[in-house]
Amino acid sequence: MNSYFFGLLLCGVILIATSWANPTDHNLAYSVIKSQESIPSVPTLNSCNSVCPRNLDPICAVDVDNDKNIKYFPNTCLMENDACRRGRVWKPTQLLQCAADIDPGLRDGCVHACPFNYDPICARTTKNGAEGKVHEYIQNFANRCVFDMENCLASGKWIEVRGEMCGLDED
């Protein structure tokens, strides 16, 4: 009995498939792939940029089709890969939405009670996405306390900007 092996590295996880009989056995989910041209239905590594940097640049996103589906990603590239692989559109939201998934050391040093007053702060940040693309995000924060907390969770990457950039009237 011949043994065939195929391994693929995706986002730091090795996927392994084996065939213990004939490599043409179609009962298996995967078999040995000699070239990508031989099986055109298998996505290539470039179709959903599967290789992402291992940097921590946290982002919390909400599924635009299901606002109850909120997910934490270590960086924008991993968010874009997930969107590509699952056919979803993720919209970045405040990191506090993903507080349960954030590293406890970081979370415990940043998260604290804030007043409920509305005195909005407009801020922007940039995040590196797939294939070297840089994305700019502009967002309103309810007040200075919430802004400081989100900025702490984002390791100081938010920069306060003029309110008019967020559609706020300047007083």
**What's the angle, vertex CA 57, arms to CA 69 and CA 43, rounded to 5?**
65
For the chain of 171 residues, list the mean pLDDT of each consecutive stretch of 10.
38 35 35 30 50 80 90 88 90 84 75 86 84 82 90 87 86 56
CA distances from 76 to 14, 23, 51, 54, 167 (A): 21, 38, 12, 11, 25
Q: What's the confidence (pLDDT) of residue 130?
A: 66
Q: What share of the chain is helix, strand, coil (3-state, %, to 5)?
A: 25, 30, 45
Burial class for 17, CB neighbours closer than 10 Å (0-12, 13-18, 19+): middle
Residue 14: other Cβ atoms inside 10 A: 8
For residue 168, what is the DSSP state? P
Q: What's the confidence (pLDDT) of residue 113?
A: 80
